[in-house]
Amino acid sequence: MQPDRVALYRLMLLSRLVEEAIGKLWHEGKISGEMHSGIGEEAIIAGTVSHLGDGDAMALDHRSTSPMVMRGIDPAAIIRECLGRADGLCHGMGGHMHLYSKEHLAASSGIVGAAGPAACGFALAHQHLRPNKVALAFFGEGAMNQGMLMESLNLASTWKLPVIFVCKDNGMAITTPSRQVTAGDLCERARSFDITTTSVDGADVESVWTAAANLVERARSGRGPGFLHATCSRPEGHFLGDPLLRIVRRPITELKDKVGPLLSASSSLSGSSVGERIHSLSSITGILGRAADMITCRGWDPIRRYLQRLDLDPAHRSSIEANVELEVQVAIDTATKSEKVQP
């Protein structure tokens, strides 16, 4: 079985344009609070969600816009929710981290690791009420250190629940490199629960699609859960306005008030040893270097990479992109035609 390559490209492009539109509204001050972008994760989402059908479920993390859009939920309703509109997807009460659609059996949570138990709940209901249906759980690699996710892996394996755990690994736990706070191999952790695991390049949508196809088929046939580990890069950092990326993009502006205190602390006669100070400064430099990699790393963009593989006829590509751009523009216009927010 081969994927519908044009459909995968269209899903990723639709998600990217919707998230860019939401990002623009956030930068304009029309959306309040934090905004977590899923840009860079499109191949992971498209390669997994495209296997879902009616009755299948998704348990999502705080980057839920992309899977919601790819699952067919109205982008205008999502945008209105982000704007705090009473006519938003959740009546303006949830915001982008708590999107929910009963019709699509899709729910997100801002609690790290919460997708695990939620997906197990969906999958348990599938076993009793909806045979041959599956649930997906999306989370970042940092969630693998949460007890509730470990408990979910154990329960899913013990009860052979039809759930696929999708770990989106960008190598950063907010502003800390994951390797500094997470020990061992994540796939080995999942295998320790007797769960079938696969690791893929999360910027290669067809690799994700193929890996997910095998895990979904196993789950549907009653052979238990799967664990998909997919690496990725998020060029917008942990959230829009990420301080590390602001420093990388505008070093003079962002560091002018910080260099003095750093130098003063480094040269102080009291405090930690010279070696410890050098180590701390080196650590800061390393983290900024990792942030720079998120922006400049070649091959991070799954959409650009897939276009090179697709080799579409220019006219066909233009037609696809024009249709998606129109769909997103209509959603934006529909969502922003009234500025009323939830009181």
Confidence of residue 297 (pLDDT cuts 50, 70, 90): low
Domain membership of residue 73 (yes or no) is yes
96 domain-assigned: yes
Q: What pLDDT is stored for residue 5 in this prediction?
A: 96
Residues 157 and 254 in one domain: no
Question: Where in the sequence is the domain holding 24, given as residue range(s)?
Answer: 5-235+311-336
Can you give the pLDDT at residue 191? 98
Instruction: Mark whether 200 and 264 lie in a shared domain.
Output: no
pLDDT at 279 over 90: no
pLDDT exceeds cutoff 80 at 171: yes
Please report the pLDDT score of residue 333 as a whole number.
Answer: 95
Do the domain assignments include residue 56?
Answer: yes
Within-domain flag for 99: yes
Residue 343 has pLDDT above 60, yes or no: no
Do 284 and 318 fall into the same domain? Answer: no
Average pLDDT of the segment spanning 89-106: 96
Measured CA distances, 66 to 42, 63, 73, 151, 240 (Å) = 7, 7, 10, 26, 15
Side-chain half-sphere exposure of 299, counting CA atoms within 13 A: 8
Same domain, yes or no: 79 and 200: yes
Instruction: For residues 239-245, give the mean pLDDT.
Output: 84
Q: Compute the mean pLDDT over every residue in the chain, rounded to the nearest whole number.
A: 92
Q: What is the pLDDT confidence band of residue 301, given thresholds at 50, 70 and 90?
A: very high
* Amino acid at position 185, single letter: D
The residue that leads in pLDDT, 194 or 267, is 194
φ/ψ region of 78 (left if φ > 0, alpha if ψ in -120 to 50, else beta) reads: alpha
Instruction: Based on the fold, state whether residues 12 and 75 are members of the same structural domain.
Output: yes
22 and 118 housed in the same domain: yes
Same domain, 213 and 107: yes
The pLDDT assigned to 342 comes to 53
68 and 146 co-located in one domain: yes
Pair 286, 320 in one domain: no
Is the pLDDT confidence value at 101 over 70? yes
pLDDT of residue 341: 53
What DSSP element (H or E) covers 226? strand 226-231
| 216 found inside a domain | yes
* Residue 213 · residue 49 · CB < 8 Å: no
Cα–Cα distance, 37 to 40 (Å, whole number): 9
Rounded-to-10 torsion of CA 230, 233, 238, 241: -160
Report if residue 343 sits inside a domain. no
Using the predicted structure, report yes or no on whether residue 296 has a pLDDT greater than 70. Answer: no
Report whether 116 contacts 165 (CB < 8 A).
Answer: yes
pLDDT at position 282 over 90: no
Contact 98, 91 (CB under 8 A): no
306: in domain: no
Residue 69 in any domain: the answer is yes
Unique residue bearing structure tokens 């044009």: 6
* R_g (Cα) of the chain, nearest Å: 21
161 pLDDT band, cuts 50/70/90, is very high
One domain, residues 147 and 250: no
Cα separation of 69 and 62, whole Å?
A: 14
In which element (H, E) is residue 285 found? Answer: helix 274-296
Residues 124 and 218 in one domain: yes
Number of domain units in the chain: 2
Residues 6+ apart with CB under 8 A from 299: 203, 305
The CATH number of residue 194's host domain is 3.40.50.970
More confident residue, 41 or 292: 41
Backbone angles phi, psi at 76, to 5 degrees: -65, -40
Q: Is the confidence at residue 81, as pLDDT, over 70?
A: yes
pLDDT band of 203, cuts 50, 70, 90: very high
Whether residues 69 and 15 share a domain: the answer is: yes
What is the reported pLDDT for 194?
A: 98
Per-residue pLDDT reduced to its tens digit, 110-142: 999 999 999 999 999 999 999 999 999 999 999
Spatial contact of 10 and 40, defined as CB atoms under 8 Å apart: no
14 in Cβ contact with 71 (< 8 Å): no
